[in-house]
Structure 1
Amino acid sequence: MENLGVDPSSVTRPRSSNLSLARASLLGCSALLLSIFLLVAMLLVFIAHDQNHEAEAHSRFDAENALQSFERLSRKTIKDYAFWGDAYQHLHLTVDTDWAFVRQNLGPTLFSDLGYQGVFVVDPTDRTVYSVVYGQLRTVTLQGWLNRSMSALIAQARQGADSASAVSTFVDMDGAPALVAAAALSPGTDPDVQRDQRPPSVLLFVARFDPARLATLGRDYGVDQLRVAATGAEATVFPRMTLADDAVAVQWTPERPGDRLLVLVLPLLACAGLVFGLMSWFILRRTTAAARVMDANHASLAASRSALAASEERFRDVAEASSDWIWEVDEQLHFTYLSERFEVVTGLSRERCLGRPLDEILSSEQSALSTWFKGHARRANAVLQCNYQSGDGQARVCRLSVREMEGRGYRGTATDITEEVEARRRIEYLSHHDALTGLANRTRMQEFLDGKLKATPTLEAPLVMLSVDLDRFKPVNDLLGHAAGDQVLNEVSQRLAGCLRDDDLVARIGGDEFVLVVAGMASQQEVENLCRRLIDCIELPFYIAEHEVFISASIGIAMAPADATLAEELLRYADIALYEAKEAGRNTWRFYAGDMNARIVERRQLESDLRLAIKQDQLRLHFQPRYRLQGKQLAGAEALVRWQHPQRGLLGPELFIPIAEETGLILPLSNWVLHTACRVAASWPDGVVVSVNLSSTEFQRGHLVARVKAALTETGLDPARLELELTESVMLDDAEGALGIMQSLKALGVRLLMDDFGTGYSSLSYLRSFPFDGLKIDRSFVGGLTASGGDHSIIQAIVGLGRALSLTVTAEGVETHDQFSALRDVQCDEAQGFYLSEPMDAQAIAQLLRRSADPS
């Protein structure tokens, strides 16, 4: 740009007036007084800060004293319980939950009266054997509840057993500090308690400092607003005290007497300074009035020249500091000016580019630059996106702003937007593709499908949609981690894409759900061949982190136009067919059929009706009598639930139990069966038991032990008269967790039976490892029972196995006299079935029991 011809050195200062000396003296005095005011203000601020610091130190001492006092009290409390002969006998030598919890020796009062949210006992092998959480008896472990290992604290507690001392520490518990106190169980001075040579068990109390507890503790010790330390800006404003580590700290609001001092004194000082300032301003205004008039003309000229020079310098600085570069071209579009930023941004030489045509440096995809300039440069805010090659050979993109100079060519700025363009392209890509696998996502699949459907597929050349869902994929994530699962999904995506042609589409629309859109398949056989290739390809082993992983796939198929012509309907029908494929045993495929939708609708209606049935008392309980084979005496009855549907009549469990298990309704349904069966059986004669079937879902998330205990307590049924029947799937899902729950059930006094024995591959190992009281032979063996058949030998072997393990053996499904006689010959203990008695309601079973008690 041309120089404006202003020489800054030529700008002269205005002439001094006669009053300049007086004005300078007045300003000097003002500056001196202002310094005195500032010094006084600084002294006040220092004194206030010192007072605030002393107050904060005092509040810190009080906060430390509050927490230490609570910690000392907790240690003393736990010592009183731990060094007690009865606690040693009932929680170390044996674990007696009735003594500890029911009699409230170490039960809910520790939570309600003393505020300990967790009470735990860890045995010599560091296994949690007794847990009370929020006043409720639970089966959780100490480590699982705290989400951390307390091995070091437990070891310290055992070291202090001889000196009768307790230990404690603070830990982070869900974002708040918690005190964990521990002491080894010891018989103390009680000579009557038997001593154990094993390491002592350890009693632990856990007190979580929630906001209410911290506030109360702070008030007791004069600490204002004691709370969990905040994050962000507040974390540095108020004092904090770290407890266990940097993540566990508390804060409080200390008194600030210095602030009150500043509030009282500073306003007075400010008012005095304001009065003096107004006086100085008034005097200065009067003394300078004349000088201002005299020097006005000269000052105006000097200011104009100075502003012009500053404006030119400012333009130069802005032009070179900006990320844009400035350009000018003549009427022939040859460069006549390029700012210094041109070389920095583009890497090209200014000297070599000056004089060259614009088209040699820049290019546009819209049209030639010479043509575009003639048609658009006269418009306001004319902008054009151009491409160029940088000095290092990289392709770059810039945004060109253009303004015409009348008769002299064009000028403007250029902004490099390469990163912006690439970011837009990346966003555009991610909006249509799955971030993990790179496959099309649901949006891209919808656009592709709409485009294919607009081409109007025919019955001879249909459009095929395949909905693919991976089988056995969840264990990969659970056992090997999500990184391994992502690796499997990536390889599955490559295998699926390898089975299709270039003009077909593979999309990932969910976690392990894929959709394939294929055109040009003329026959159903071609589609089935493709499905077989897909399944065979996915069944090949995956090698993940030195593990060989196997999965399979289920496929649902919908076709346009035969099944649907809209994308939403086609996808929904493919999902329905996929559901049918999974119901058929997985690892297969199914074509959509019209009746599938009807079955789905019927199933959903049945699910909705079942929710109402549980609330509106439509369930009925029948009882299948069970007899001892020796003497044919009534031993008990199995509770069987029925549903009195308002429209369909009485429905058997095979129609609604699977739905209840899938939807989670099995828990309220089973709870109803358990309470009703116990209430009915409470009126039966002593010695007659009632059996209740359990679902594996109840073991996973049903609070089973607490529910059974509540049912026994509410109905008054003797626990020995309640039998719980469970299948092998309970142990298959989580053997360790199931064993713990079964041991807790046995502690209540109930009996446990293995149902459908003989149908699982590992039932024998479960009988040896789990605390069963009996087993029930599956009806499939009883149905083929003859005097000399193969099933006869199997049942005889099962009876012998039960006798060897001291288990009661019951045969189900006895329907003929020959079956009954054969079971009696092999000395089976009990039997039930239609030959002996059909299921009956509560009134009929009560009459049967009265007849059995009074044979006359």
Structure 2
Amino acid sequence: MRADVGVIEALAYDVLPPREVGDEQIAGQRVRQLHHIPILIGLSHFISLIACFLSGDRIDNMAGLGLIATLVGVDILAFAMVSIGGRIGIPPHMSTRLLTIYVAFCAAAWTYFAANMFSAAHSHELVVTAAVVGGGVIAMAIAAITAPPIAIIMGLSAATTTMALAYSDAVVAGICIMALVVSAYATAFSRTSIATARRRLILDSEAHQALRFVNEFEASGRGWFWETDSSGTLSYVSRQLAEDFDCDPADLLGRKFTDLLSVDSQPGEELRDERTLGFHLSARFPFSDVVVRAASDEDVLWSVSGNPIFSENGRFLGFRGIGADLTEQRRNEQEISRLARFDSLTGLPNRAMMRQTLEEALRNAARRKRGCTLFLIDLDRFKNVNDTLGHPVGDQLLRQVADRFSRTLGNHGQVGRLGGDEFIAVLPGVVETGFIERLATLMIEQASQAYQIEGHRVTIGASIGIAMADPQRACADSLTRNADLALYAAKAAGRGKHCFFEPSMHSEASDRQRLETDLRFALEQNELSLHFQPIVRAASEDLCGFEALIRWDHPTRGRVSPDLFISVAEECGLIGKLGDYVIEEAIRQAAEWPDHVRVAINLSPIQFNDPKLVEKVATLLQTHEVRADRIELEITEGVFLADNEATDDTFARLKNIGVRLALDDFGTGYSSLGYLKTAPFDKIKIDQSFVRGASHPKSRNSAIIRAIVALADSLGMDTTAEGVETHDDLNLIRELGCSQIQGYIFGKPSPAEDCADMIERDSVLPQGHRSVREPRHRLMRRGLVSIGGEQVEIRLRNISAMGALIECAKPVAPGTQLTLDIIGTGPVVGTVRWSQAGRFGIQFDAQFDLTRLAPPRRQMTGATHSFSAPFYVGEKESA
């Protein structure tokens, strides 16, 4: 709102509608200032009425009395209108308009009265009449001095009346000049009063706004206000300040401000703060953010600021200021400090704190020359818990894991959480390998025990990477990197293991990183392909289907093992894209084969937990027009990490679209048999670890297979034995009653175009060796042999306890008995079982001790043994 008022605006302000905010309020105030106008005019009319009575018969008739009586009635109506106009809803500008009309009517009546009623009067009577009329007009002018429109009407009335009474020109001119002066004064007065009223409204608005801000600030709890007089006595306090003392603000008024406060007694700060606050109060200087403690029973801290107040002549009036409660802020700062060092979920030291712990342990190790050990721990299958049961269950699981690790480690070291499902443990001064190994094994065992969370039985595992510091050269970064590489190796070895760092792991990690990059490129460039391994009915050897297996022929690496690149895909998040490719290609290929040929597709737990899995399978079946029961989805026990509604729902939806479900790698997982009661499986696949060598007399695998077959039969499920490679195992599997057989004996995985002959014949003949041969030694050994009286140099390969493959330049007939002189080992006697150009196979007469070939190697903790493929006694080894 602007405060300035122009002349035109002042003239029309009272009779036009308000145009700015606040003008209506000002107009209402101005109308109330005009309430006396009907009273003054009515008083002049009453005096005129008395004058008429005094003139007696000098008046021509009674019309004058009637006119004056009418004016008195109009005066009464006008007074009533201005008195109750606001209450009945008449706007201020309308009230002013009505008053102006009222004044104009009165002025016209006086002019008429002066011109006609006393036209025949004597001169002395005219003087009385002029005095009465002039007095009324002057009274109206004085009454309307605050309203320019009414003042103008009054001036016109005075001039008209004077001319009607036939006064001289000088008198008329004087009256007109007087009317102009009064109108000008009324206009100037209105300009001043309206501007003043506007400025007052602006100030009132600002004051109310400031008061609202003060009230809102006090109500928000973010601070409070205080004020003292010149003697330091409180003259105003906010309610929030009084609430800290459990009293009303009035109870604090009159008390010394310093009686409510005591300086914060932080060590080393008390004298400084006391001197600061006391100096400013006594010197009447402003102060800011002085920390004080309230003189109350509770531990309350305030931050107080104040400014001295002086009058215009410089007299000190007191202090005025604000305060804020720092109690909660101090608590938050302490909590922030704690969170900066500890994990909010588990309460264990966080990454930054463990970094400090490790660096301190290494410094102590350097001084004491004792070394230090670092564990990096990763929880196996934890992501499946979050995906299947949700993050709240995952959080509770992490708390329980943290408790187990802390109890297991005890006083031997400090365990912390890096984030997610990763933990770390620092063992200062612990370097004894045997103890470290036992401790790591115990931590893995503790983490692998089942958890009960919200009615769910959850089972996970843990892998640990171990790095031992050289007290002279180790640093935190290198030790952490080494432990991380060891952890990676432990996870690659099958998880649930611990592994010590070895220097060769650096090159392995780099190679794995390159493999991940190559896999991404292979997926983008469609370098992957599907091979299919036949599945045969055990009784008739008829072909019943194929299992789709992913293969990768790398441009430079050659054939990459699926175990290697699938694990890489799981770790880098490519397993979903890889699985989608396998499902789509397998269903597309199934559409090209006869309807009786089924195709089995492996699903990882991550794929199974994909909410869009069922939709993807249904869409592909419809797109390629493949009957649903021709597709068999093989699922491992990993999906039963925790029973939940999402798992059951996925099973139900898959069965609703008609696909078959097979439980893969049965017997090797970590779940109980309880899921077989509800999971709608059509088939159980017996893992090859039970099948291979089952025909050996000392093997217990046949009993396990028999039990699995009996279980499947009782549940109405088929059984497939995986990994059948020899005729002995094939005959045993048939005797034990397995429904189907899969293995190298019926064919290796091959491209789809190579499967056409098997599909056309609709049967597969078993091919392979009779029995399994013993483990063999891969390294080549040199030796000598006497053939026809001549010493011939030979090379021995694939050496087993029962025989070996011999590379020899001279031909040897089968059945020949030879004595081999293996260099560094000694003579071995055997019989030639088969022979071809440049090589022959020999069977030893007595069992050969493989440990004679080389001294025993030191076994590294966490390392795994690798065994060569079987060696078949009496059978021809292919070139």
Q: TM-score, normalised by structure 1?
A: 0.51
Corresponding residue number in structure 2 for 1:779:
688
For the residues of structure 2 that align with 1:716 and 1:653, how far apart are their CA atoms? 30
Q: Is the 8 A contact 2:637 2:669 kept in 1?
A: yes
Structure 1 residues 460 and 638: CA distance shift in structure 2, 3 A = same
Residue in 1 aligned with 2:560? 651
Shift in Å at residue 621 of structure 1? Answer: 1.8
**Contact 1:563–1:592 (Cα < 8 Å) also in 2:** no
525, 534, 537: which one aligns with 1:616: 525
Q: Following TM superposition, by how much is the alpha carbon of 1:400 offset from its aligned partner in structure 2, in angstroms? A: 6.7
Separation of aligned partners in 2, 1:640 and 1:435: 45
Pick from 89, 104, 110 the counterpart of residue 39 of structure 1.
Answer: 89
Q: Which residue matches 1:840?
A: 750
Q: Distance in 2 between matches of 1:487 and 1:691?
A: 35
Output one character per residue of 1:784-842: Cα deviation in whole Å (capped at 9) or x when no partner. 13386644455456556666666554433222233334445556554332233232222
2:225 aligned to which of 323, 327, 331? 323
Note if 1:638 corresponds to 2:547. Answer: yes
Q: Kindly tell me: are residues 565 and 780 of structure 1, through their superposed partners in 2, closer, same or farther at Cα, counting changes over 3 Å?
A: closer
Q: Contact 1:644 / 1:650 at 8 angstroms: preserved in 2?
A: yes
Distance 1:800 1:571, change over 3 A: closer
Q: How far apart in 2 are the matches of 1:803 and 1:402?
A: 92
Q: Pick which of 611-620 and 582-591 moved more.
A: 582-591
Asked if structure 2 preserves the Cα contact closer than 8 Å seen for 1:626 and 1:830, the reply is yes
Task: State the 1:845 CA deviation.
Answer: 1.6
Which of the numbers 755, 758, 761 marks the counterpart of 2:664? Answer: 755
- Cα distance, 1:493 vs structure 2: 6.1
**Partners of 1:711 and 1:483 in 2: how far apart?**
35
Q: Does 1:813 align with 2:735?
A: no
Report if aligned partners of 2:637, 2:670 keep a CA contact under 8 Å in 1.
no
* CA gap 1:323/1:602 in 2 versus in 1, 3 angstroms: same
Task: State the alpha-carbon separation in 2 of the partners of residues 290 and 542 from structure 1.
Answer: 92
Which residue of structure 1 aligns with residue 578 of structure 2? 669
With over 3 angstroms needed to count, the CA separation of the structure-2 counterparts of 1:494 and 1:688, relative to structure 1, is closer
Q: 2:295 aligns with which of 387, 390, 415?
A: 390
- TM-score normalized by the length of structure 2: 0.50
Whether contact under 8 Å (1:630, 1:829) holds in the other structure is yes
**Is the counterpart of residue 697 in structure 1 residue 606 in structure 2?**
yes
Find the aligned partners of 1:799 and 1:489 in 2 and give their Cα distance.
41
Answer whether contact 1:626 1:638 (CA < 8 A) is retained: yes
Residue 831 (structure 1) aligns with? 741
Aligned partner of 2:60 in structure 1 is none
Task: Pick from 278, 282, 287 the counterpart of residue 185 of structure 2.
Answer: 287
Per-residue CA deviation, residues 54-107 of structure 1 (Å, 9 max, x unaligned), is xxxxxxxxxxxxxxxxxxxxxxxxxxxxxxxxxxxxxxxxxxxxxxxxxxxxxx
Pairing 1:285-684 to 2, within 5 Å after superposition: 286-287=184-185, 323-324=225-226, 326=228, 337-339=232-234, 365=269, 367=271, 385=290, 387=292, 390=295, 392=297, 399=304, 419=326, 422-423=330-331, 425-426=333-334, 428-430=336-338, 432=340, 433-435=342-344, 440-442=349-351, 457=366, 460-462=369-371, 465-468=374-377, 482=392, 489=399, 492=402, 496=406, 507-510=416-419, 513-516=422-425, 519=428, 521=430, 555-557=464-466, 574-578=483-487, 580=489, 590-596=499-505, 598-630=507-539, 632-684=541-593
Q: In the alignment, what sits opposite 1:273? A: none
Distance 1:837 1:378, change over 3 A: same
1:753 shift after superposition: 3.9
Residues 490, 599 of structure 1: alpha-carbon distance in 2 compared, 3 angstrom cutoff: same
Contact 2:385/2:393 (CA < 8 Å) preserved in 1?
no
Distance 1:513 1:809, change over 3 A: closer
Cα 1:562–1:587 shift into 2, 3 Å? farther
SS in 1 for 2:744: coil
In the aligned structure 2, how far is the partner of 1:286 from the partner of 1:673? 100
Displacement, 1:588? 6.3
Deviation at 1:650, TM superposition (A): 2.0
Q: Which secondary structure state, in structure 1, belongs to the residue aligned with residue 730 of structure 2?
A: helix
Asked whether the 8 Å contact 1:23–1:288 carries over to 2, the reply is no
Q: Whole-Å Cα distance in 1 between the matches of residues 755 and 556 of structure 2? A: 27
* Contact residue 378 and residue 423 of structure 2 kept, 8 A: yes
Partner of 1:707: 616
- Specify the SS of the correspondent of 2:553: strand
Q: SS in structure 2 opposite 1:39?
A: coil
Instruction: State the SS of the aligned residue for 2:586.
Output: helix
Task: For residue 384 of structure 1, report the CA deviation from its aligned partner.
Answer: 7.6
Pair 1:398–1:801, CA change in 2 (3 A): closer
SS of alignment partner, residue 815 of structure 1 = coil
1:465–1:557: 8 Å Cα contact kept in structure 2?
Answer: yes
In the superposition, relative to structure 1, how do residues 568 and 386 fare at CA in structure 2: closer, same or farther (>3 Å)?
same
Counterpart of 2:185 in structure 1: which amino acid?
T
Structure-1 separation of matches of 2:396 and 2:725: 54
Give CA-to-partner distance per residue, 1:140-188, whole Å, 9 cap, x none.
xxxxxxxxxxxxxxxxxxxxxxxxxxxxxxxxxxxxxxxxxxxxxxxxx
Could you give the per-residue CA deviations for residues 278-331 of structure 1, whole angstroms, max 9, x where no partner exists?
8579999833689999x9xxx9xxxxxxxxxxxxxx9xx99xx97346588xxx
The Cα shift of 1:668 comes to 3.5
Evaluate the alpha carbon distance shift between residue 560 and residue 542 of structure 1 in structure 2; reply closer, same or farther with a 3 A threshold. Answer: same
Number of matched pairs: 576
How many Å separate the matches in 2 of 1:742 and 1:547? 19
Distance 1:390-1:589 versus aligned 2 partners, 3 A rule: farther
Report the aligned-residue RMSD. Answer: 6.4
Q: Is the 8 A contact 1:337 1:354 kept in 2?
A: yes
Q: 1:365 is matched by which residue type in structure 2?
A: E
Q: Is the Cα contact below 8 Å between 2:531 and 2:551 reproduced in 1?
A: yes
Look up the equivalent residue of 1:422 and give its one-letter code.
R
Secondary structure (helix, strand or coil) at the match of 1:838 reads: coil
Q: 1:727 to 1:278 in 2, by over 3 A?
A: farther
- Rg comparison, structure with higher value: 2
Does the CA-based 8 Å contact 2:229-2:319 persist in structure 1?
yes
Superposition deviation, residue 462 in structure 1: 4.7
Q: Relative to structure 1, is the Cα distance of residues 764 and 539 closer, same or farther in structure 2, using a 3 angstrom cutoff?
A: closer
Tell me, in whole angstroms, the C-alpha distance in 1 between the residues paired with 2:302 and 2:398.
39
Q: Is the 8 A contact 1:399 1:417 kept in 2?
A: yes
Query: Could you say if the C-alpha distance between residues 346 and 807 of structure 1 is closer, same or farther in structure 2, counting changes exceeding 3 Å?
Result: closer
Distance, in Å, in 2 between the alignment partners of 1:469 and 1:384 is: 48
Change beyond 3 A, Cα 1:417–1:626: closer
**1:351-396: per-residue Cα shift (whole Å, max 9, x none)?**
998999x999999816467976999998975558465672648575
Change (3 A) 1:676 1:437: closer
Q: Percent identity over the alignment?
A: 32
Task: Check 1:536–1:349 CA distance in 2 against 1; reply closer, same or farther (3 A cut).
Answer: farther
Name the SS of the counterpart of 2:621 in structure 1.
helix
SS of 1:323's partner is strand
**Structure 1 unmatched ranges of 5 or more:** 1-19, 45-275, 300-313, 329-335
CA gap of 1:529–1:39, structure 2 versus 1, over 3 A, is same
CA distance in 2 between counterparts of 1:36 and 1:351 reads 45
- In 2, Cα distance between equivalents of 1:425 and 1:736: 43
Give, in angstroms, the shift of residue 618 of structure 1. 0.8
* Contact 1:621 1:639 survives alignment (8 Å): yes
The unaligned stretches of length 5 or more in structure 2 are 1-31, 41-77, 95-145, 153-179, 197-210, 216-222, 246-250, 766-879
CA–CA distance in structure 2, aligned partners of residues 656 and 718 of structure 1:
31
Q: Per-residue deviation at 1:641?
A: 1.7
